[in-house]
Amino acid sequence: MGVVVPLGQKGPAGASLRPLMKLVEADMERVNSLISKRTGSDVRMIPELANHLINSGGKRIRPMLTIATAQMFGYGGEHHVTLAASVEFMHTATLLHDDVVDESNMRRGKAAARLLWGNEASVLVGDFLLGQAFKMMVETQSLEALAILSNAAAVIAEGEVWQLAAAKNVSTTEDDYLSVIRAKTAALFSAATEIGAIIAKRSGDEQAAMRSFGNNLGIAFQLVDDALDYTGEEGKLGKSVGDDFREGKITLPVVLSYRRGDDAERTFWRRTLQEGTIGDDDLEKAIAIMRKHNALADTIERAAHYGAMARDALAIFPDGKHKAALQEAVDFCIARVS
């Protein structure tokens, strides 16, 4: 494993998340202590299970986006910290439910919570975190932020159901697939950045720019994730290479390979992903077919396209360290594949 997918001309390979992390460091410390406080409960299983996942080294990119956006707009209040923690709770709740739905065994390089505490507890602690997320949002008294985040919650779940219903259809179109990831990933990225503009009381145009930035970054992020599932290094990935394949998930590398393939290859995709009959060599074979059709490299190319749209969405803002750090974060998300 550990295949390097060539990035082409679209993103500098040396891009780093560090400038962004540096800018948001102080506020993120407050986000982290709020997260830790709000997972507290007299019911011991709740903080144990929640912290197992929350402290497992996720990059917390979504709350960082909320903080960075609010800072870029010179926001001087406290609500960005509360909303950033809400966003991370919504994300964590989704991960807990996803792992149950997908029967995943690993998450961020550790055993999935559902293996240690059971599916039941994962569902319920996810519900608890979602409840806490909404409680925190309400505390900010921002009905606009609440409208955006509650809409995102419904859209994410809708996208997950869609994916569940479409899971076993190898002839899913690229458009349909994009609709799924717009819902299940981009909606929360988009909400995370938009609410930063909203609490800073920026104009409608500026809110729209941040919404667009988050949306396109989210799509790029998910596409890269889809490629990484076939090309990543296990240690970095925090999950097993080939998880999507074993779970019969139709992602863009599969969509492209199926469309570009011959009859024998299409039979292979149907057998492995639709019927779930997977032999020992099939993952390697799947990767070989993907390479033959440039499906992995083109997935990254597509990601770079959405990344470019994300960067352009920020163009209306004056240059500054926050804008630069956010744009570099886009490059990082795409470059992490190498």
What would the DSSP string read from start to end of 81-95?
HHHHHHHHHHHHHHH
CB 268 within 8 A of CB 242: no
The nearer residue to its own copies, 172 or 257, going by C-beta atoms, is: 172
Residue 32's SS3 state is: helix
- Could you say whether residue 101 binds its own copies (CB under 8 A)? yes
The nearer residue to its own copies, 72 or 188, going by C-beta atoms, is: 188
The nearer residue to its own copies, 42 or 263, going by C-beta atoms, is: 42
Strand partners, 107: 110
State the nearest-atom distance from the C-beta of 125 to its own copies, in Å: 6
Binding mask 197-236 for its own copies (x = CB under 8 A): ----------------------------------------
CB 63 within 8 A of CB 192: yes
State the nearest-atom distance from the C-beta of 136 to its own copies, in Å: 9
CB 239 within 8 A of CB 318: no
Q: Which helix (H) or strand (E) holds 45?
A: helix 45-54
The nearer residue to its own copies, 125 or 220, going by C-beta atoms, is: 125
Name the token pair of 244. Answer: 């999507």
Name the token pair of 331. Answer: 């490059």
Binding mask 161-200 for its own copies (x = CB under 8 A): xx-xx-----------------------------------
Name the token pair of 159. Answer: 């996208």
Indicate which single residue of 100, 192, 252, 335 sits in contact with its own copies (rule: CB under 8 A). 100
- Rg (C-alpha) for the chain, rounded Å, is 20
Q: How far is CA 207 from CA 69, 148, 193, 210, in A?
A: 10, 11, 8, 5
Indicate which single residue of 16, 36, 41, 105 sits in contact with its own copies (rule: CB under 8 A). 41
- Could you say whether residue 51 binds its own copies (CB under 8 A)? no
Q: Which residues bind its own copies (CB under 8 A)?
A: 41, 43-46, 97, 100-101, 118-121, 123-125, 127-128, 130-132, 134-135, 137-139, 141, 143, 146-147, 150-158, 160-162, 164-165
